[in-house]
Amino acid sequence: MSKEITLAKAGLSNCEELYQLQTISFHQLLEKYQDYDSNPGAETKDRTLQRLKDPFTDYYFICLSGKHIGAVRISHFETLCRLKQLFILPEFQGHGYAQQAILLAEALYPEIQRWELDTISQEAKLCHLYEKMGYTKTGRMEKIKDGMDLVYYARHTKRAGNCGRQA
């Protein structure tokens, strides 16, 4: 059984740490697929800073016993939120922390009606995670390159109203 995690809001002053966590966490997928145009592990620190400044984007550290082991990035609009990135350091993967992080992140936006995300369709482990969390395929696929496609997922909630951010 994995330990409980918490989420902590990240801000502009956390750019370097977020960038480092993202680079390390996505390194294995970057090496596997060599997708330097779309993999977050190949992005610049300036791109992370741009996202931190976006008023429709929130970053949260995934914290385990006070240590930042990953992060989640959420874009929010009216009644829709997109789980844009969820990354956990390799040594902490496979312990159920991603599932906990999704539940905690969704709870931060109690009025949301629909959650969306995309992931690499060839990564069965990632697809299984999101399906286990109640996300279903939308039918949309996007070819990134030979041997790598994005599959899109959505999950509807029974909630109504606007996506209210909470810090």
- For residue range 69-120, list pLDDT tens digits in order: 999 999 999 999 999 999 999 999 999 999 999 999 999 999 999 999 999 9
Which string of DSSP letters, residue by residue, matches 24-76? HHHHHHHHHH--TTT-GGG--HHHHHHHHH-TTEEEEEEEETTEEEEEEEEEE
The band of 24, judged by pLDDT with boundaries at 50, 70 and 90, is very high
Give me the amino acid identity at 45. Answer: K
Instruction: Name the DSSP letter for residue 133.
Output: T
Residue 162: predicted pLDDT: 43
- Domain residue spans in the chain? 6-156
CB 117 within 8 A of CB 153: yes
How far CA 50 is from CA of 28, 40, 53, in Å, comes to 24, 13, 5
Its CATH architecture, for the domain 6-156, is 3-Layer(aba) Sandwich (3.40)
What is the predicted pLDDT for the residue at 159? 57
Q: Are 130 and 43 in contact (CB under 8 A)?
A: no
Q: Say what the pTM is.
A: 0.92
Which two three-digit tokens encode residue 41? 């592990």
